[in-house]
Amino acid sequence: MNRREFLKGTSALTVGAVYLPFLKAMPAQANADETLVVVMGSTINSLDIHRSGTNRPSYQVAVNCYDRLLTFGTKTLDDGSLSYDYDNLQGELAESWEVSGDGRTLTFTLREATFWDGRPVTAQDVKWSFDRAVTLGGFPTTQMAAGSTTRPEQFEAVDERTFLIHLPHASKLTLPNLTTPIAIVINSELALEHATDDDPWATDYLHRNPAGSGAFMVERWEPGQQLVYRRNPDWASGELPGAERIILREVPSASTRRALLERGNIQLSQDVPPRDAMELDAHASVQVVSTPIENCLHVLCPNLAFEPFQDVRVRQAIAWAVPYEAILQNAAYDRGVPMWGGESSTPDDIQWPQPFPYHTNLDRARALLAESDYPDGFEVPLSFDLGQADWAESTALLIQEALGRIGITVTLDRIPGANWRTRALVDKQLPLHLENFGGWLNTPCYYFFWAYIEGNLFNSSNYHNEEVAQLVDETLFMAMDDPDYAPKIRRMIEIAFEEVPRIPLYQPALNVAMQPNLDGYTFWYHRQLDQRVLHGR
């Protein structure tokens, strides 16, 4: 028996098929059940979330390697799986926090924590990190603005452990926004040692070298291949992670990811396509967790810049014609929440998303179209993002067929990733298209702000309605327990029901598949894998 087989043998005894990594680098006595192997289909292109060009899969480095001031607690969902809890705000680096009477000053007291290099985490680090996020521009600045923090002057380090945020007005979104992967706290002294005159925020350095106080450090990063996390034994902001080391491998082919999981060579597979999720769920040897993504909808957008869609009856006709049931089955393999068949055209509560009062009824669709200015139908291209083809392709085909039956001739238009953002979201020139916006902050007004207000990025329908604009303006910062809040939101949803500038198809789910002996997986609104909570059973 050689060294390799010996190691394999011992590790196989401890937890399933967890193998020891780094034969040459690790002493033989290391405990094998402390290593997890995770695969994902996408690639991590930067270790710095603030950098321009950092892609979405890279956000998980911010989640796992850095701490934020605040985080959310955990709740158990109806199916027994775990999810973050938007209603349970907790401290991460902040030991405690206070909101002033007028809601415009937030005071945070930091816990005693150290960065990986041993330097203490101070209020100055928090200020530098937040200054960086609001100054660098691009996505971090936009996301910070959602919490009404836009200028460095708003952040104040009073002493080593007291940090203040000054707000122009009270907002319920500021605190939740501090839990986002953007609001990380960086080791400012270490970063500044690597800053230059051209690069005062050390973007070059932090791009490759994370400098945080988080639960995991990055041991190796081979772009396009793998990232290896190693546990930070001195992590102060939460319970020490179960895994000593996590190997995150990039495996582009979904079929290969599935084979690896079924063979037991890996512990967890991220971003599982709905079809694989359904089939893997039938295996006893694999556990699949599908969580409906909060505040997210897959929608069909009729663009008001396209003349026929300016007629509300045409939009409603389409909403009555969409084959909702077939879409949920064929595109999402039933892993999603129906968003059709609502009972009444006035919402009872402020639940969002909630089913719209439409269902498939072609007679009703034909009648509405006959009443409209386009009784004989028209031709329209239906566009979707090729990067989303796993659900959008079959959805588009089903819609094409259904609209054909009421006299609207649909041609399909597949658009590759780079063009998609420009054409759909920036230029907003696609007459009919599929869209999948989800808001990080789980309030209806936040969704409406991005998706129903003219000019905002995800309002790719070019919808404008004075009343909605005013309602969003009034509710966006308003506390959710304010007696005025619920009626205003209900009115907002009612208008969305009636006007349907966005026709919801279903609420999608995030699917993750893992070995049955893995515990602790928790869904997060940012859809990134929180490696800190994973542990063996």
Residue choice 263, 341, 361, 516 for contact with another protein (CB under 8 A): 263
Answer yes or no whether residue 9 interacts with another protein by CB under 8 A: no
Positive/negative CA dihedral, 448, 450, 451, 452 = positive
For residues 292-321, which are near another protein according to CB under 8 A? none
What minimum distance in Å lies between the beta carbon of 462 and another protein? 15
Residue choice 15, 32, 39, 110 for contact with another protein (CB under 8 A): 39
Please identify, among the stretches 352-360, 398-406, 449-457, 508-516, the one whose residues bind another protein according to the rule CB under 8 A. 449-457
Residue choice 1, 25, 282, 284 for contact with another protein (CB under 8 A): 25
Residue choice 31, 55, 76, 470 for contact with another protein (CB under 8 A): 55
- Which structure tokens are listed for 467? 């009343």
Answer yes or no whether residue 275 interacts with another protein by CB under 8 A: no
**Within its chain, how far is the Cα of 261 from the centroid?**
24
Answer yes or no whether residue 142 interacts with another protein by CB under 8 A: yes
Answer yes or no whether residue 12 interacts with another protein by CB under 8 A: no
- Which structure tokens are listed for 26? 């690790």
x/- track of binding to another protein for residues 202-241 (CB under 8 A) = -----x---------------xxxx---------------
With CB under 8 A, what is the number of residues at the site for another protein?
60
Residue 407's CB is within 10 A of a number of other CB atoms, namely: 17
What minimum distance in Å lies between the beta carbon of 279 and another protein? 14
Which residues, including other chains, have CB under 8 Å from residue 345's CB and lie 6 or more apart?
A: 357, 494, 497, 498
Answer yes or no whether residue 457 interacts with another protein by CB under 8 A: yes
- Which structure tokens are listed for 42? 């996408």
Give the bridge partners for 435, in sequence order: 299
Task: Give the Cα separation of 488 and 471 in Å (integer).
Answer: 6
For residues 328-367, which are near another protein according to CB under 8 A? none
Closest CA to 337 of 524, 83, 508, 527: 508
Nearest to another protein of 181, 536 (CB atom)? 181
Answer yes or no whether residue 31 interacts with another protein by CB under 8 A: no
Nearest to another protein of 25, 284 (CB atom)? 25
Answer yes or no whether residue 28 interacts with another protein by CB under 8 A: no
Task: Give the Cα separation of 37 and 536 in Å (integer).
Answer: 12
In terms of residues, how long is the chain? 537
On whether the CB atoms of residues 275 and 65 are closer than 8 A, the answer is no
Answer yes or no whether residue 139 interacts with another protein by CB under 8 A: yes
Q: Is 392 left (phi over 0), alpha (psi -120 to 50) or beta?
A: alpha
For residues 381-420, which are near another protein according to CB under 8 A? 386-387, 416-420
Give the bridge partners for 296, in sequence order: 438
Nearest to another protein of 5, 343 (CB atom)? 5
- Which structure tokens are listed for 522? 């928790």
Which residues, including other chains, have CB under 8 Å from residue 395's CB and lie 6 or more apart?
A: 298, 327, 330, 331, 384, 434, 505
User: DSSP letter at 20?
Assistant: P
Which residues of this protein are in contact with another protein, per CB under 8 A? 4, 19-25, 37, 39, 43, 45-46, 51-56, 137-139, 141-143, 146, 207, 223-226, 247, 249-253, 255-256, 259-260, 262-263, 265-266, 386-387, 416-423, 425-426, 450, 456-457
